């Protein structure tokens, strides 16, 4: 019998995939997974010993803000993607609220040209406006586009479609799943006076749970009316969970590590502006409700909502301080710590950051550790204990809301299309990310 040969062989790791968990070898040819199983007699150009480690499908962070073009927040596609691979993330979906806005074909093509400097594979959202809704059917089909994004409540940047007629127009043009920032703009404006100068604990009052719930109720009615699939981003309230549970046929939803881990008012008292994001981190009642959504299978994905600002910007007094926090590099260790503490299983974590993005965004060849798929792997040490620090952060913002967080479970390797780009905290080679493909636009 001829000796099996591969370009890359991952040997002796505990593979987590459709068959469950078990010690298996993984052989890679031509950037794709060629075989999984006992490959003791195989040969390869490169062999990586994964004994004692877990080999997961490549983690996808389906919500990041790297801020380029414009770079007004001193982050860019290169630095943001560098942080991603150092954190075990193999692919990202970047949001459109950049300067200029990612709302035209020229802007999308320009961003793709800039993305050649990215370390991880990538896709971009087309931003919806009152003026471009008739173009969205074409924009959502462009290579490298993961879908359309609507801001129903104002956040960082100038994208906003707050009214029912505007949202209805967007949902009526195109067929791919639409992602939405769901906070009711009318209520946000009425409640803005509740923001107390210098008091970040008032942020969840100025952007209330009621504003999030009301907007999601409106959104679900519009999705039903137009027959359009939607994806509701960064759910922050306990009350939205049972509502979304009733509409799983048409609505998928996301939760962030921040909303699952941090808790007000303590986090605002401790971190002040560093704890500020939209929608806000809320109190114990809402955090418990989000974990109930995890346990009941209501949430489809975890995204980091990575949105960096400099420490100088964050030092401004509330409410002048900007909302947003880095998160792409900490997603894996923070959530693996929840796995270690028995809040969710490792297989559920994989479902939320690998299988879920594959399923709801219909990525072509990514999101599963299976023969024929891209050889994307996140290799982790579940027993490794590390403390997350500002100094570990590779983003240009240079900080993390999880500074001092004692993590159990750590990303030790990031492999993208059969190429190891990070091992034991060191970057390898040069940036070589490419656009992610989608089944609906092949």
Evaluated on CA atoms 308, 309, 314, 319, the torsion sign reads negative
| Region 59-361: CATH code | 3.20.20.140
Determine the 3-state secondary structure of 344 from DSSP. coil
Segments making up each domain of the chain, as ranges: 5-55+371-381+406-441, 59-361
- Catalytic pick among 305, 351, 374, 381: 305
Widest CA span of the chain, in angstroms? Answer: 76
Separation between Cα atoms, residue 259 and residue 149, nearest integer Å: 21
Tell me phi and psi for residue 423, to 5 degrees: -145, 125
| Adjacent-strand bridge partners of 59 | 89
Strands 54-57 and 377-387, bridge-based pairing: antiparallel
Q: What is the pTM of this model?
A: 0.97
For domain 5-55+371-381+406-441, give the CATH number: 2.30.40.10
Other beta carbons less than 10 A from residue 284's beta carbon: 12
Phi-psi region of 187 (alpha: psi -120 to 50; beta: other; left: phi over 0): alpha
Answer yes or no: 305 catalytic: yes
Q: Looking up tokens 């270690």, which residue turns up?
A: 340
* 442 residues of the chain, pLDDT tens digit each: 679 999 999 999 999 999 999 999 999 999 999 999 999 999 999 999 999 999 999 999 999 999 876 555 578 999 999 999 999 999 999 999 988 899 999 999 999 999 999 999 999 999 999 999 999 999 999 999 999 999 999 876 678 999 999 999 999 999 999 999 999 999 999 999 999 999 999 999 999 999 999 999 999 999 999 999 999 999 999 999 999 999 999 999 999 999 999 999 999 999 999 999 999 999 999 999 999 999 999 999 999 999 999 999 999 999 999 999 999 999 999 999 999 999 999 999 999 999 999 999 999 999 999 999 999 999 999 999 999 999 999 999 999 999 999 999 999 999 999 999 999 999 999 999 999 999 999 9
Q: Are strands 251-255 and 89-94 parallel, antiparallel or unpaired?
A: unpaired
Bridge partners, 54 (sequence order): 14, 380
């Amino acid at each position: 019998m001829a000796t099996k040969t591969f370009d890359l062989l991952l040997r002796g790791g505990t593979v987590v995939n459709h068959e469950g968990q078990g010690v298996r070898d993984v052989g890679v040819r031509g950037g794709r997974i060629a075989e999984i199983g006992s490959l003791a007699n195989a040969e390869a150009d490169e062999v990586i010993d994964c004994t004692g480690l877990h080999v997961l499908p490549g983690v996808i962070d389906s919500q990041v803000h790297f801020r380029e073009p414009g770079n007004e927040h001193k982050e860019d596609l290169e630095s943001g993607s560098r942080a991603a691979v150092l954190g075990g993330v193999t692919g990202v979906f970047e949001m459109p609220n950049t300067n200029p806005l990612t709302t035209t074909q020229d802007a999308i093509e320009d961003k793709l040209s800039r993305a050649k400097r990215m370390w991880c594979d990538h896709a971009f959202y087309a931003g919806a406006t009152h003026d471009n809704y008739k173009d969205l059917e074409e924009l959502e089909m462009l290579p490298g586009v993961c879908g359309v994004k609507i801001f129903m409540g104002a956040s960082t940047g100038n994208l906003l479609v707050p009214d029912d007629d505007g949202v209805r127009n967007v949902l009526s043009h195109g067929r791919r799943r639409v992602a939405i920032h769901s906070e009711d703009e009318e209520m946000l404006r009425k409640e803005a006076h509740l923001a107390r100068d210098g008091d970040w604990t008032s942020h969840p009052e100025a952007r209330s749970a009621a504003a999030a719930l009301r907007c999601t109720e409106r959104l679900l009615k519009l999705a039903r009316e137009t027959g359009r699939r939607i994806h509701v981003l960064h759910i922050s309230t306990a009350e939205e969970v049972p509502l979304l549970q009733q509409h799983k046929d048409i609505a998928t939803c996301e939760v962030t590590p921040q909303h699952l881990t941090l808790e007000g008012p303590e986090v605002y008292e401790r971190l002040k502006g560093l704890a500020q994001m939209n929608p806000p981190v809320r109190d114990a009642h809402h955090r418990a409700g989000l974990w109930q959504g995890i346990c009941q299978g209501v949430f489809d994905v975890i995204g980091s909502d990575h949105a960096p600002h400099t420490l100088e910007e964050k030092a401004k007094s509330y409410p002048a301080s900007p909302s947003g926090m880095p998160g792409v590099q900490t997603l894996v260790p923070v959530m693996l710590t929840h796995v270690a503490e028995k809040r969710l299983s490792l297989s559920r974590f994989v479902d939320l950051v690998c299988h879920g993005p594959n399923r709801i965004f219909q990525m072509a060849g990514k999101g599963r550790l299976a023969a024929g798929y891209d050889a994307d792997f996140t290799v982790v040490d579940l027993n490794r204990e590390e403390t997350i620090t500002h100094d570990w952060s590779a983003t240009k913002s240079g900080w993390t809301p999880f500074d001092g967080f004692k993590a159990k479970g750590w990303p030790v390797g990031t492999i993208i299309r059969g190429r190891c780009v990070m091992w034991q905290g060191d970057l390898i080679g040069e940036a070589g990310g490419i656009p992610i493909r989608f089944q609906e636009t092949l």
